[in-house]
C-alpha cells in the first residue's frame, strides 16, 4: 500500500469517526442543485457546463453560473443567469444565461424536456440568440439534479 492510499484511509477513518459527534441543525434543509453539461453540441460547434441552485434557503437560490463555448469563437465564456422549474416539482428545468464580459455576447436558454437520467443520456434543448442564432437539441448531455 503506497503512502497516498494510507493517507486516504486514515483521512476517511478520522472523518467517519467524527461524523456522529457533531449535531446537525434540526431546521437545516437541503439545496437542490442542477447541472447541465455537454462537451460537444452537434451542429452548433460548442458546449456548455452550467450549475444552478434550483431550490434553497440560501441567498443563491435560483442563480446559475458556468461556461458556454462556441468553437468558431475559440474560447469558453463565463455565463450567469437563473433557473426555473417548469412546472414546479416536475424535474423539468429552463436555464437562461448570458455573459456580461468577454469578447462576444452570449444569450442562451436551455431546458430538459424529460426528467434527468444517469450519465450522458439526456436531451437538452438549446436556443441561443447570441453570438449566433442557434436552435437545436443535444441527445447525450448530462443533467444532474441533487438535493
Q: What is the mean pLDDT of residues 2-7?
A: 31
CA distances from 28 to 15, 58, 76 (A): 21, 11, 36
What is the overall mean pLDDT for the chain? 80
pLDDT in tens, 15-27: 333 333 334 444 4
pLDDT in tens, 87-137: 878 899 999 999 988 888 999 999 999 999 999 999 999 999 998 888 888
Structural domain boundaries in the chain: 29-146
Q: Please give the model's pTM, rounded to 2 decimal places.
A: 0.77
Identify the bridge partners of residue 93 per DSSP, sorted by sequence position. Answer: 85
Alpha-carbon dihedral sign for residues 48, 54, 57, 63: positive
Which stretch of 24-33, 41-50, 79-88 has the lowest confidence by average pLDDT? 24-33
Amino acid at each position: 500500500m503506497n503512502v497516498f492510499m494510507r493517507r486516504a484511509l486514515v483521512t476517511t477513518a478520522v472523518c467517519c469517526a467524527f461524523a456522529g459527534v457533531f449535531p446537525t441543525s434540526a431546521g437545516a434543509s437541503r439545496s437542490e442543485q442542477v447541472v447541465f453539461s455537454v462537451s460537444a453540441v452537434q451542429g452548433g460547434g460548442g458546449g456548455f457546463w452550467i450549475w444552478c441552485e434550483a431550490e434553497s434557503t440560501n441567498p443563491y437560490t435560483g442563480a446559475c453560473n458556468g461556461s458556454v463555448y462556441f468553437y468558431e469563437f475559440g474560447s469558453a465564456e463565463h455565463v450567469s443567469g437563473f433557473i426555473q422549474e417548469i412546472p414546479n416539482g416536475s424535474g423539468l428545468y429552463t436555464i437562461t444565461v448570458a455573459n456580461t464580459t468577454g469578447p462576444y455576447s452570449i444569450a442562451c436558454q436551455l431546458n430538459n424536456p424529460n426528467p434527468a437520467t444517469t450519465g450522458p443520456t439526456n436531451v437538452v434543448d438549446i436556443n441561443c440568440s447570441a453570438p449566433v442564432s442557434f436552435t437545436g437539441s443535444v441527445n447525450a448531455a448530462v443533467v444532474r439534479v441533487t438535493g
